[in-house]
């Protein structure tokens, strides 16, 4: 019984890879979630999958995850729901247990971002004439993520063949293996040209193999430290900053959705809350009525 169940997990992961085009990182997360949920093989003595076995195992898994943040629990429960849907569609289950799984509501957070002045501080540091070799890498990954709104994984896997210098564009393969075109500012393109001229011929921008995202993450964190930013800097904060600064400058949500590679507009709408919050603070500090104490 247990062996067959793990065979089904393997088949489900193949389905998500080949049919749904899930990324390697997403597949790895699915595998971890399912292995955590269904690791108790003592419960596999039962053959009543519908009413007892899966309910019992799933309940134990959700109890095991109770200490996690709401967002983490949501992601793991979403994995279970997807797996249950697949079991039902494949007629392995006679009723869909996914309907009985409820994801906790996660309060919307305003994304962390840095100001234009902080961006300028980082660029000023990396405009020095005496940059070390590793600092060129730090500068380039900063320009790709902030200049093009790339995810850290997209920047780390970027190939030279995906860069069209004359058109100032990148061909990016993002989540779900979906391709999008990203246009870079001329400043970023100039730095990319210089970066390429200083390297030997290689397939990827950061080496012969894709850069480890942890290394890329550390380069961004280091850039924030060297520029003496008050708060720690991470890659997604740069992506949020890219989106926020474009929206504040007049870009519409549909354009931003395309540039960021979001599947739904809902994922992009969170930036409107941030912009409204910024405008509210500006009104309080600049408008005469905002300074009146009641």
Q: What is the CATH number of the domain that holds 149?
A: 1.10.443.10
Are 85 and 120 in the same domain?
Answer: no
Question: Please, are residues 290 and 280 in contact by the beta-carbon 8 Å criterion?
Answer: no
Q: Which residue range(s) make up the domain with 181?
A: 116-286
Which parts of 227-264 fold into alpha helices (H)?
A: 235-248, 253-260
For residue 204, pLDDT beyond 90? yes
Identify the top-confidence range among 71-75, 96-100, 192-196: 192-196
- Which residue is catalytic, options 151, 240, 242, 245? 151
Mean pLDDT of 81-95: 88
- Which residue is catalytic, options 12, 38, 146, 271? 271
Are 126 and 240 in the same domain?
Answer: yes
Check if 262 is active-site: yes
Check if 175 is active-site: yes
Number of residues that this document lists for the chain: 294
Ranking 59-68, 79-88, 252-261 by mean pLDDT, the lowest is 252-261
For residue 51, pLDDT beyond 70? no
Count the domains in the chain. 2
Alpha carbons 120 and 152: distance in angstroms, whole number: 20
For residue 48, pLDDT beyond 80? no
Are 129 and 270 in the same domain?
Answer: yes
Check if 12 is active-site: no
Mean pLDDT of 108-120: 82
- Which residue is catalytic, options 139, 239, 240, 245? 239
The DSSP letter of residue 208 is S
- Which residue is catalytic, options 173, 175, 196, 221? 175
Structure confidence at residue 294 (pLDDT): 46
Retrieve residue 116's tokens.
């234009």
Look at 255 and 34; give whichever has higher pLDDT. Answer: 34
Confidence class for position 276, pLDDT limits 50, 70, 90: low
Strand order across the beta sheet in which 163-164 lies? 163-164, 169-173, 179-183
The DSSP letter of residue 131 is -
Are 123 and 86 in the same domain?
Answer: no
Q: Which residue, 59, 76, 100, sits at the end of a domain? A: 100
Report yes or no on 248 lying in a domain.
yes
For residue 259, pLDDT beyond 80? no
Percent of the chain at pLDDT above 70?
82
Check if 271 is active-site: yes
For residue 80, pLDDT beyond 80? yes
Are 179 and 230 in the same domain?
Answer: yes
- Which residue is catalytic, options 171, 234, 236, 270? 236
Check if 159 is active-site: no
Check if 234 is active-site: no
- Which residue is catalytic, options 76, 240, 245, 262? 262
Report yes or no on 259 lying in a domain.
yes
What number of CA atoms fall less than 13 Å from residue 69's CA on the CB side? Answer: 5
Are 130 and 265 in the same domain?
Answer: yes
Report yes or no on 110 lying in a domain.
no
Are 137 and 248 in the same domain?
Answer: yes
pTM beyond 0.75: the answer is no
Neighbours of 142 (CB within 10 A): 26
């Amino acid at each position: 019984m247990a062996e067959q169940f793990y065979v089904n997990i393997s088949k489900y992961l193949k389905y998500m890879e080949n049919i749904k085009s899930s990324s390697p990182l997403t597949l790895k997360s699915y595998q971890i979630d399912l292995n955590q949920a269904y690791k108790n093989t003592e419960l596999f003595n039962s053959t009543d999958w519908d009413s007892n076995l899966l309910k019992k195992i799933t309940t134990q898994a959700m109890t095991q995850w109770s200490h996690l943040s709401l967002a983490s629990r949501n992601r793991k429960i979403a994995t279970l729901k997807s797996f249950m849907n697949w079991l039902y569609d494949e007629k392995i289950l006679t009723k869909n247990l996914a309907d009985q799984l409820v994801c906790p509501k996660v309060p919307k957070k305003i994304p962390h971002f840095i100001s234009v002045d902080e961006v300028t501080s980082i660029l000023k540091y990396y405009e020095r004439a005496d940059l070390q070799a590793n600092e060129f890498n730090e500068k380039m990954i900063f320009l790709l993520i902030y200049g093009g709104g790339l995810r850290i994984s997209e920047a780390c896997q970027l190939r030279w063949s995906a860069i069209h210098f004359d058109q100032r564009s990148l061909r990016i393969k993002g989540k779900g293996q979906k391709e999008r075109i990203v246009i870079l500012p001329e400043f970023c393109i100039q730095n990319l040209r210089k970066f390429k001229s200083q390297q030997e011929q290689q397939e990827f921008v950061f080496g012969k193999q894709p850069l480890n995202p942890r290394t890329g993450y550390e380069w961004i964190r280091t850039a924030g430290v060297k520029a003496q930013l008050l708060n720690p800097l991470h890659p997604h904060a740069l992506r949020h900053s890219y989106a926020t600064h474009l929206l504040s400058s007049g870009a519409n949500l549909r354009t931003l959705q395309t540039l960021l590679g979001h599947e739904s507009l809902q994922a992009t709408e969170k930036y409107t809350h941030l912009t409204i919050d910024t405008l509210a603070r500006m009104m309080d500090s600049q408008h005469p009525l905002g300074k009146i104490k009641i």
